[in-house]
Structure 1
Amino acid sequence: MLPLTVVGALVAGAALAGCGAQRDDDVYTVLNSSTDDSYHGWDAATLARCSKQLGIGIQQQSVPAAQVMTKSLRMASSKSLPDVIQFDASEMPTFAEPGGLVDLRSLGLSTKDIPQGIVDFGSYKGTYYGAARTVNTLALFYNKDILDKAGLPVPTTWAEMQETAKKLTQGKQYGIALSAGGAEDGVFQFTPFMWSNGGDESDLATQNVAQALDYWKSLLKDGSLSKSTVNWTQADVNDQFMAGNAAMMINGPWQVETLNTKKNLHWGIAQIPVPKDGDKSVGPLGGAVLTVPKTDDTARQKTAAKIIACMSSEKEQISYARNSWMVPANEKAAALWRKEVPELDALADQVATARSRTAKVGARWSSVSLALQSAFQSALTGQSSEAALKKAQTRATSGN
């Protein structure tokens, strides 16, 4: 990520200078990360319906997720910003901080029937900048056949999960798989353990956070978790689960389409186990939000808001959720979706208690994430959790 000072200069310049490049008055652009053929097709269908409904042309421009921010900044510097930018919600504050986004409420978009946690997910310092169509979070996926054969129930607490994972570890099969790699995947997977144990990203050097990291270390020590976990992405974890190399895994609904390609794999999901009975399982809200970048063309901004309103309507949310296996952001849409896919009911329950990674630290999240990534690599390869997290907090505070 570029330094915030550089981001601020580019974004502020775009907002003050306007659009710059010549535009077709009846063609609007949506920048997203839908490079995958399936997602690109689903979004193309959505935009075609919205184009017809609004009587305008809408073009989709897709780049890899890691490039959305840099692409947006380059377009800001050349004064050619798109009309709508779909940011990962964890990146949105970086663009909002220097005043680069328009308050969606000021453009007439309502947050009625959207849970407060999801409103916060698309907000920065109390201002609603990003509308989510669907959201996701993590859950515990388990192989029904393996657990049934062993006569074991689905674990609900850390102690139960550790015991179950240990019993299911045999031969090439590990009890559980998760991503603890040095990237955002690992941090995303660590947050439910940190938060459910009372830990907080605003202070990593606490016993609550150390206990969560020690729990991961205990799974490694038992041999229930592969040492390769420090290199695995969430896609790698799913590959291990599908190959029968893991009886359980921590992962998200974006894997369901792939899981369902293996017809003899009977899987189920449950909420992520908590430290002890009675604790709340708090996972991270994931997904993207639709935003309107600030320029001096207020008329286009208002039309951009109409595009977002169409894309995030109840009907379109359900359509997108059916395809992507994500959970609709709108409560009414989510209730209908639950009836359609009862096998993912536990995921909807997990979403209900989930929260945004940027809610407490805002644009500082990228520094916190990088610090945690380094801490995982150190702690899971020998350093004490306390020492690794103390160093991580220093790094997160300094931003280096």
Structure 2
Amino acid sequence: MNSSSISARAAVFGTVVLALSACSSAPQSSGTATATGNTYTWWDPYPQHDASSSWAKRVGSCGQQAGVTIERTAYDTTALTNQALLAGQEGNAPDVILLDNPAVSTLADAGMLTSMDEFGLDTARFDKNLIAAGELDGKTYGIPIGANTLALYYNKKILDAAGVDPDSIKDWASLNAALKKVKDAGKKPITLSAIGTEEGSFQFLPWFWGAGAQLTQLDSPQAVEALDLWNTWVKDGTAPNSVISNSQNTTWEEFLTGEFAFAENGTWQINSAAKAGFPTGIVQIPAKDGGTAPTPTGGEFITVPVQKDSQRYNVTKKILECMTTPEGLVETGTTFAYYIPSTAEGQQAILAKEPGLKPWVEAVKSAKGRTSDNLGTDYPKISEALWTGVQKALSGAATPADALKAAQAQAKQAIGD
């Protein structure tokens, strides 16, 4: 979920907003889905990667292997989903759309995507926890080209000075003990993003799920425990008041000042962390009582819109297979520098090239799709209620319990339960 790059991106589904990040709004290429027998159309949310980029060449090479030319159009994710829905209504959808994973349910629910069973693509090799984000009502409507997720980056210099061993962080109690040592040493303990957008929900979910809470019950005792944790951090100065308005990029900029011991952020900051002016590392976000908390998955799915001419699927299948071989997943992962392959074979292959990605592979293996549990198109409504509740609590407008009680009522009304 990177505000300047791809990761877990913004998606606006008509009136449903999943504002994970924002890119340039101008589409690259023609913006039309018109295709001929030897030309296949491909839409993706990467306008920052122009026709000369490694990504564009990656897409083009899969077309060449399938014996066709790919006409690629890149949109800001906000525009992409809206444009896709419009194209579906007009019967002019492209052959392939690469979508941020929560958008898959929206387009599937609109009836514009071909299920992978109908398409004839075997999905068994993809990690179940990752592909679940593309499932709706028992059918799979897309395949993940990779995944990214969250962890806690740390400033080793600050931890060493405070006498904190990052390996000691196993649960909330040990994390709080580490944060207290940092604070007692006169340093800033942690920063994160609690902004009133999808980014805020994205960052809160590891703590919410790590407490044992479920998105179907926002005001459960476990959910209140998670919000109490964040609220306590803000009230006692463990986390700065700025978290209420912090985007993930802003949080990262705070961390790069070298003043914070920890920052919650994602796989997409790997390269930036390596270039920081201080040594860094990561620890998994701990669950309340120990173990790794489930973190939300970011990343795109390849989807196949319904075509009037079903014969086109034969070539489209070759394009998708090219993109998702173990070697193809590694090439995509290294092209973007922070994408973890979505199959066990792909993960082993990327670790052979980049052993330092091991903690992130582990994080992705324990991650969870936001639309999993068959939440589908209900997720954006639930998420908006959740981030609204988090904002109310952290701003002092309501107690965590009251804020989440209101959030649950808002979610139930929004989804019609």
TM norm structure 1: 0.90
Counterpart of 1:249 (choices 228, 240, 263) is 263
CA shift in 2, pair 1:352/1:23, >3 Å: closer
Deviation at 1:369, TM superposition (A): 1.0
Partner of 1:276: 289
Partner of 1:11: none
TM norm structure 2: 0.87
Q: What is the CA deviation profile of residues 292-328 of structure 1, one whole-angstrom value per residue up to 9, with x for unaligned ones?
A: 0113221223322321221122111101112322210
Deviation at 1:91, TM superposition (A): 1.4
Q: Higher mean Cα deviation, 365-374 or 38-47?
A: 38-47
Counterpart of 1:379 (choices 393, 411, 414) is 393
Deviation at 1:21, TM superposition (A): 7.4
Matched, 1:265 2:278: yes
Contact kept? 2:88, 2:112, Cα under 8 Å: no
Partner of 2:5: none
Deviation at 1:38, TM superposition (A): 8.2
Q: Higher mean Cα deviation, 127-136 or 76-85?
A: 76-85
In structure 1, runs of 5+ residues without a counterpart are 5-19
The CA distance in 2 between the partners of 1:3 and 1:223, in whole Å, is 37
Structure with the larger helix share:
1
SS across alignment from 1:113? coil
Partner of 2:123: 111
Partner of 1:95: 107
Matched, 1:60 2:72: yes
Partner of 1:239: 253
The sequence identity of aligned pairs, in percent, is 29
Partner of 1:314: 326
Contact kept? 2:43, 2:97, Cα under 8 Å: yes
In structure 2, runs of 5+ residues without a counterpart are 1-12, 17-31
Counterpart of 1:31 (choices 37, 43, 55) is 43
Partner of 2:242: 228
Deviation at 1:358, TM superposition (A): 0.6
Q: What is the CA deviation profile of residues 51-109 of structure 1, one whole-angstrom value per residue up to 9, with x for unaligned ones?
A: 22111000221111222211212222333211111111111101111321101132221
Counterpart of 1:82 (choices 72, 94, 106) is 94
Matched, 1:130 2:142: yes
- Give the partner amino acid of 1:352: K
SS across alignment from 2:294? coil
Counterpart of 1:364 (choices 378, 388, 392) is 378
Q: What is the CA deviation profile of residues 196-220 of structure 1, one whole-angstrom value per residue up to 9, with x for unaligned ones?
A: 1110001101111111011001111
The CA distance in 2 between the partners of 1:80 and 1:171, in whole Å, is 61
Matched, 1:192 2:237: no
Contact kept? 2:206, 2:293, Cα under 8 Å: yes
- Give the partner amino acid of 2:43: L
The CA distance in 1 between the partners of 2:173 and 2:48, in whole Å, is 39
CA shift in 2, pair 1:165/1:396, >3 Å: same
The CA distance in 1 between the partners of 2:185 and 2:211, in whole Å, is 32
Q: What is the CA deviation profile of residues 7-29 of structure 1, one whole-angstrom value per residue up to 9, with x for unaligned ones?
A: xxxxxxxxxxxxx9753221111
SS across alignment from 2:262? strand
CA shift in 2, pair 1:270/1:304, >3 Å: same
Counterpart of 2:345 (choices 332, 351, 357) is 332
The CA distance in 2 between the partners of 1:366 and 1:287, in whole Å, is 16
CA shift in 2, pair 1:151/1:56, >3 Å: same
Task: Give the 4+ runs in structure 1 shifted more than 6 A.
Answer: none
The CA distance in 2 between the partners of 1:150 and 1:203, in whole Å, is 39
- Matched residue pairs, number? 383
Counterpart of 1:213 (choices 218, 222, 227) is 227
- Give the partner amino acid of 1:255: Q
* TM-align CA RMSD: 2.1
1:298-313 aligned at under 5 Å gives the runs 298-313=310-325
Contact kept? 1:166, 1:222, Cα under 8 Å: no
